[in-house]
Amino acid sequence: MTAEGAAGASDDKAVEREATAVEAAAGGETAAVEAAKRARRRRFGLTTDTAPPEGGGRAAPGDASAPARQWPLLSVLVLAGIGLVVVGVEPFPQSFRVGAMLVGVALLIGAVMRRVVPSVGMLAVRSRFTDMITYGVMGSLIVLLALMVQPRPWLRIPFLEDVLHLTVT
């Protein structure tokens, strides 16, 4: 608690003691007691920081090196980076599809780690539930789109093909 917060708390106690004394002297609730209660309700503490996301602590002990403490985030980033390199270098046919799938799988692994690992470091951005849904949906969509991309898609879903043809034509 800051010095200002401590002073505010002691002021609250002083106002409450004074209001109680006035109430006892008057034999009932007076206007001073009502004013003291209203003043106490209106006070607020100034928020200076936000709460860290659940599971946002270090993924390794504090004496470990920085990369070791952030292994969940680094594993997701390395896999996504490998996918981007595969897309950029294009070492084999359909490499754009495989690279995009690696990026989607990296996000899916991030969602699984967010659920299973109790402390994931900087991989925790929002609440655990929101992170899991965000990573999972984005990863699933990227993998699905990579499987359906033209030419010669590896997965055909007629309903989605019809929707695509309606929007393009």
pLDDT at 74: 93
User: Is residue 16 domain-shared with residue 84, that is, in the same domain?
Assistant: no
- Measured between alpha carbons, how far is 104 from 140 in angstroms, rounded to an integer? 6
What is the rounded CA–CA span in Å between residue 72 and residue 106?
Answer: 11
Mean pLDDT of 104-133: 91
- Domain count for the chain, please give it: 2
Q: Are residues 107 and 148 in the same domain?
A: yes
Whether the full predicted model's pTM is greater than 0.75, yes or no, is no
Considering the domain architecture, whether residues 150 and 73 belong to the same structural domain is answered as: yes
Say if residue 75 is in the same domain as residue 23. Answer: no
Q: Where are the alpha helices (DSSP H) in 117-157?
A: 128-148
Residues 15-73: pLDDT tens digits?
A: 566 656 655 555 555 666 666 666 565 555 665 666 666 666 666 776 777 777 888 99
Tokens of residue 130, six digits: 């929101």
Distant-in-sequence, close-in-space partners of 38: CB < 8 Å, separation ≥ 6: none
Amino acid letter, 94: Q
Q: For residues 131 and 124, is the Cβ–Cβ distance under 8 A? A: yes
Q: Is the peptide bond before 151 cis (omega within 30 degrees of 0)?
A: yes
108 and 160 in one domain?
A: yes
- 77 with 115, same domain? yes
- Does residue 25 lie in a domain region? yes
Domain that holds residue 17: 3-42
- In this predicted structure, the answer to whether residue 4 has a pLDDT above a threshold of 50 is no
Q: Are residues 70 and 37 in the same domain?
A: no
Residue 30 near residue 23 (C-beta atoms within 8 A): yes
Task: Tell me which of 136-140, 141-145, 147-151 is least confident.
Answer: 147-151
Look at residue 84 and tell me if it is in a domain: yes
Q: Minimal CA–CA distance to 111: which of 120, 102, 100, 99?
A: 120
Question: Do the domain assignments include residue 113?
Answer: yes
Answer whether residue 56 is part of any domain. no
Q: Is residue 104 part of a domain?
A: yes
As a whole number, mean pLDDT of residues 155-164 equals 74
